[in-house]
Amino acid sequence: MSKAIEQPTRPFIPYSLCILLFVCVWLHVFIARNVMLDTILLQILGSCMAAALGLWYVKYAHTSLMTVGVVLLSLVIILIRSSFIYVSQMTSVDLLESTAIHNFELVVSRDLVYKNQNEFEKMCAYSFSVGGKRIRAILLLESFKSYKEVSDLALDFAISLELIHNYSLVHDDLPEMDDDKFRRGVLSVYGKYGQSNAVLVGDELLNNANLIMFKAIKKLDNIQEIKNAVSASEIILNSSGINGMIYGQFLDLENKIEDLSDIEKINDLKTGELFKAAILSGAKLAGASDEDLLHLEIYAKNLGLVFQLQDDLFDFEEDVKLNKKTFATVLGKNEVEKKIIDLNRISFEEINKISGNKDFFIDFIDFMAKRTY
């Protein structure tokens, strides 16, 4: 009696695992565009699972050489992508751990800005060392780094910009302004040293910002570098003065807000101008082209507005109680969230047009979108 010839067991829906692997690759690449450091473990886990799936498929599927090749190629894509993600995320997305900001904090920690030689210098050092996100300094340094390696010149300009930002906060806390004795969870300069000293500290921070930039320019020999540095300092000072931050503060104190255009103008001047100054001055210092500067200006303007819109969302409940007019209280939270998405889309389009390295700025759009403070 003849026996039926046993056929080799074929896998259930032979190509299903291959399709699943392709889906894993697609998701892997898609997630990688927006991944932060806290998702790297998920990336590694996904790679390991895909590798195990591929090995099982090669060993037991009894399939064609072409399918095996597809599986192996997919695995190679995943592993290369994982390595790239790990390196790029360590240097770009985790902003506070980036080389640029590390160098910046190193300069500050060495007391190279204020040496605490007398009581007044201690007050100035206090105002500059109580923390903060350092976003403007980061943007300047990373903008410079898009075209060149970070230099002492870039660090000096980043310190100057941070001094200008801090002087505005010191004055902003005064009784005639916000009357706030606390800043970043600790006593403000006004809260710790009194009103008169806070005025003097703010004045000194602004003066020192100018001095540091002028000293940095004085060290340069190359004519083109000198021109670029002078232009960069002009961008910073113009954005922080009557055409920018100071005038925005004046309009805010006037409190004559009638419609959304008034709100947008104040936000653009108070917040957006220094964001724009950070990105444009960093790029100009590094010798970026005029065409790149135009794209960066649009990116920076949108970035500053997104930052303010997010703050409006964070403060929404309190602003409603105070009957304060902001984008969120006038338009509603849903409309503001839609506006943020549109602005980020435009920023993404503009930053992809520059000739310099754009990785940081692409990642920064995502960083801002996920900001919770």
Cα dihedral sign for 18, 19, 24, 28?
Answer: positive
Looking at residue 47, what is its pLDDT? 57
End-to-end CA distance of the chain: 80
Q: What percent of the chain has pLDDT over 70?
A: 69
Cα–Cα nearest to 144, from 350, 286, 278? 286
> In the block, which residue shows the tokens 């697609």?
26
pLDDT at 101: 52
| pLDDT 10s digits, 53-73 | 555 555 655 555 556 566 556
- Give the pLDDT score at 321: 86
DSSP 3: P
Q: Look up residue 113 and give its two tokens.
A: 């800005």
- In this structure, what token pair is assigned to residue 223? 């004519």
How far apart CA 328 and CA 313 sit, in angstroms, is 6
* pLDDT for the residue numbered 183: 83
Pair of tokens at residue 265: 């103008």
Residues in the chain: 373
How many angstroms separate the CA atoms of 133 and 367, rounded?
A: 13
pLDDT in tens, 221-234: 999 999 999 999 99
Q: How far apart are CA 337 and CA 243, in angstroms?
A: 29
pLDDT score at 100:
52
Q: Is 185 exposed, middle or buried (0-12, 13-18, 19+ CB in 10 A)?
A: exposed
pLDDT for 234-258, tens place per residue? Answer: 999 999 999 999 999 899 888 888 8
